[in-house]
Amino acid sequence: MFYEFTDGSTSTQDVTSQVGYNGQTPFSTFNHIDNAYDVPLYIGTTPLVYKDGTPVTVLAMIGVKGDANLNNVVDAVDASSVLTNYSLTQIGTSTKLFTGTSDALKKLLDKYQSYITFSDGFDVYNELASFLADVDTDEYSEGNWHALASGRRLDAVDSSSIVTFYSLVQTGSPDNSATWDKVLGRKSTNA
């Protein structure tokens, strides 16, 4: 990788291991409006830019646990979508959990076209929806970030957990991971 420093000097040193997000996290980036983000890259606190000054960015997909329809709200519609998807797969019908589009997708489509939808039918929005709806799989478990929708087991347990989470939030529980821990019977990570 060729790298030009702000003082004009250049280097062919591999700086890949030094590239990061300058403290940005999915939580700090997420705006509860979109699911696709053009996230700038940094070396330390210095933004990476192309020679023309354009920021170097990566596509990041971020969402809300349990949100199957990617509207960034967990509700009974999400549970119904998961249950419908599960029912269709049980009778041998090939289906996608998410079939819509997003304004964020439209904005980023030109730049990331080769990542958004591949000719083999890979769809990052369906993958994100499946990841978020697979609520009984610990999001931090090994391999979960790499699992494809086709390998996920979305079923009535996920649907029921989503409904339970929604019900608890509607009756005063916080809309956060502690409530998910309660729903899923896990030791709270927020203790």
- Residue 119: what pLDDT? 44
Q: Cβ contacts of residue 72 below 8 Å, gap of 6+?
A: 32, 33, 35, 63, 64
Same structural domain, 37 and 84: no
Which pLDDT belongs to residue 8? 72
Residue 129 belongs to a domain with what CATH number? 1.10.1330.10
96 with 38, same domain? no
Read off the pLDDT of residues 67-92 as tens digits, 9 standing for 90 and up: 999 889 999 999 999 999 999 999 98
Share of the chain above pLDDT 90, in %: 42
Counting as low any pLDDT under 70, the low residues of the chain are 1-6, 101-122, 189-191
6 lies in the same domain as 89: no
Instruction: Identify whether residues 116 and 154 lie together within a single domain.
Output: yes
Task: Tell whether 43 and 71 lie within a shared domain.
Answer: no
3-state class (DSSP) for residue 150: helix
Cβ neighbour number for residue 115 with a 10 Å cutoff? 15
Where residue 11 sits, what CATH number does that domain have? 2.60.40.3810
Secondary structure of residue 77 in the 3-state scheme: helix
Whether residue 92 sits in one domain with residue 27:
no
Beta bridge partners of 11: 3
- What does pTM read for this prediction? 0.80
**3-state SS, residue 104:** helix
Domain, as residue range, for 31: 1-62
At which residue do the structure tokens 């990841």 appear?
131
pLDDT, position 16: 82
Please identify, among 12, 37, 62, the residue that sits at the C-terminal boundary of a domain.
Answer: 62
Do residues 125 and 73 both lie within one domain?
Answer: yes
Give whole-number Cα distances, 129 to 14, 122, 124, 182, in Å: 35, 13, 9, 22
* Same domain membership, residue 108 and residue 30: no
| Residues 70, 5 share a domain | no
Q: Provide the domain count of the chain.
A: 2
Tokens of 132: 């978020």
Q: Is residue 111 domain-shared with residue 30, that is, in the same domain?
A: no
Do 132 and 81 lie in a common domain? yes
Judge if 17 and 105 occupy the same domain: no
